[in-house]
């Protein structure tokens, strides 16, 4: 089952995330979980630092906002 979320993405040096749109995730988002999604034609990965509302449940009809810290690229 897909879970639609609103993604706010921030890089380690930023204070606030930037809204990048809605995405469908294969698994329900969970706090401190890793996430992979497509953005600007590339796959991005990151760690979920917060979910709004904080009491969101996978069976809810609400679309949660998921705040993600992007993982640094390893060269």
Q: Residue 75's pLDDT is what?
A: 46
Q: For each of the chain's 75 residues, which pLDDT tens digit applies? A: 789 999 999 987 889 899 999 999 989 999 999 999 888 888 889 999 999 999 999 999 999 999 999 987 654
63 within some domain: yes
Strand partners, 66: 7, 51
Q: What is the pTM of this model?
A: 0.87
26 within some domain: yes
Q: Residue 9's pLDDT is what?
A: 94
Domain count, the chain: 1
Q: Residue 74's pLDDT is what?
A: 55
Sign of CA dihedral 20, 13, 70, 44: positive
Strand partners, 44: 37
Range of the domain at 53: 3-33+40-68
73 within some domain: no
User: How far from chain centre, in Å, is Cα 60?
Assistant: 17
């Amino acid at each position: 089952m897909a879970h639609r979320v609103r993604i706010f993405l921030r890089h380690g040096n930023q204070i606030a995330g930037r809204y990048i749109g809605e995405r469908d995730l294969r698994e329900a988002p969970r706090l401190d979980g890793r996430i992979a999604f497509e953005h600007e034609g590339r796959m991005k990965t990151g760690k979920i630092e917060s979910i709004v509302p904080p009491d969101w449940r996978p069976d809810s009809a609400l679309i949660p906002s998921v705040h993600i810290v992007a993982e640094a690229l390893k060269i």
